[in-house]
Amino acid sequence: YAIAMSNATVALWAAMWAKTEYTVWTSPLTFSAVANAAQMNGNNIEFVDVDRDTMCSSFEPDGIDDDSIYVPMDYAGYPSLEKPIPPYSADRFVLLDAAHSFGGTLTDGSSNTKHANAAVYSFHPVKIIATGEGGAIVTDDESFAQYMHEIRDNGRRDGLHVRTGLNLFMDEMSCALGISQIERLPQFLERRRQIANQYNWHFGKDIRLELQASHPGHAHHLYNLRLSTVVRCNVEEFINDLSALGVGSQRHYKLLTQMPIFRHLELNGLYPNAEHAYNRGISIPCYAGMTDAQVNQVIEAVDHTLDRYGH
């Protein structure tokens, strides 16, 4: 079942609305929509660190609550659920944040959502498939899908008001754009993987950089570089130098544990892999419309900046 919604944030919110009084477990290295969705529904939120190589959530936390929602994120498009999350309790619900990984697959070629109870996609303008704005939630659970349909339609079923809900529909023009985009998905993914492979080949043996682990089903929404300690500058300086060479780059994401809304919890230092990924990580251009000349320009700009700071 696939339920299209006005954006991925409300899809996350709707899924958690169906599971109130659960504890939401997620990584600090994610977009604030996950935390917003949890807190607006009255869910408690707990954090787990990321894996240093994949940069995806590492779900082996202690003290798991009986009623828990796990929200792993396919960071940059890396399929985070190659294997099922262990059933710490019978009531655990796995909600995959697949905003970066539309079209991603596991090693065996099956969908990257295979081991989740439900998954949320984003069709924001910067994503692999763009509808202007939009999102969707997918699931194999018929009753959960029905619940999502009702929440999306002002709490109605067969025209009758059966629960609380909102108007969360994706508009028809956005849907039409999305359908036309999906027809080109194989082309988009193939080009992103070509670019990522070229970056991997060029940067893979450079000791001044750390790269995200490779995976055959990676969707490559982002391409992330992490500066090693031999690079004697901070991320902002590196970004500014790339910009001066005509190459845009940015950081993903400001850690949730460092946001003002969580600062009182004093969580700094508890998630070293996530903190390293933020403190030393840069996303460089990787999108289907890039030309070979632009890819080479990015490579040359990164090399030039590394040579400036990394001897």
Write down the pLDDT at residue 61: 58
Average pLDDT of the residues of the chain:
94
Write down the pLDDT at residue 89: 81
Q: What is the pLDDT of residues 264-301, one digit of tens each?
A: 888 989 999 999 999 999 999 999 999 999 999 999 99
Residue 308 in this model has a pLDDT that exceeds 90: yes
Please give the angle made by the CA atoms of 25, 275 and 202, to the nearest 5 degrees: 115
Residue 88 pLDDT class (50, 70, 90 cuts): confident
Residue 100, both tokens: 């970066």
Q: What is the pLDDT of residues 115-141, one digit of tens each?
A: 999 999 999 999 999 999 999 999 999
Residue 87 pLDDT class (50, 70, 90 cuts): confident
Write down the pLDDT at residue 62: 61
Residue 85 pLDDT class (50, 70, 90 cuts): confident
Task: Average the pLDDT over each of 61-70, 87-96, 188-197, 242-251 and give the range with the smallest value.
Answer: 61-70
Q: Residue 49: is it exposed, middle or buried by C-beta count within 10 angstroms (0-12/13-18/19+)?
A: buried
Mean pLDDT of 149-171: 95
Mean pLDDT of 203-229: 97
Residue 142 pLDDT class (50, 70, 90 cuts): very high
Q: What is the pLDDT of residues 20-66, one digit of tens each?
A: 888 999 999 999 999 999 999 888 899 999 999 999 998 875 666 77
Write down the pLDDT at residue 201: 97
- pLDDT more than 90, % of the chain: 86
Contact 97, 34 (CB under 8 A): yes
SS3 labels along the chain: CEEEECCHHHHHHHHHHCCCCCEEEECCCCCCHHHHHHHHCCCEEEECCECCCCCCECCCCCCCCCCEEEECECHHHCCCCCCCCCCCCCCCEEEEECCCCCCCECCCCCECCCCCCEEEEECCCCCCCCCCCCEEEEECCHHHHHHHHHHHECCEECCEECCCCCECCCCHHHHHHHHHHHCCHHHHHHHHHHHHHHHHHHHCCCCCEEECCCCCCCCCCCEEEEECCCCCCCHHHHHHHHHHCCCCCECCCCCHHHCCCCHHHCCCCCCHHHHHHHHHEEEECCCCCCCHHHHHHHHHHHHHHHHHHCC
More confidently predicted of 176 and 264: 176
Task: Average the pLDDT over each of 1-15, 38-52, 216-230 and give the range with the smallest value.
Answer: 38-52
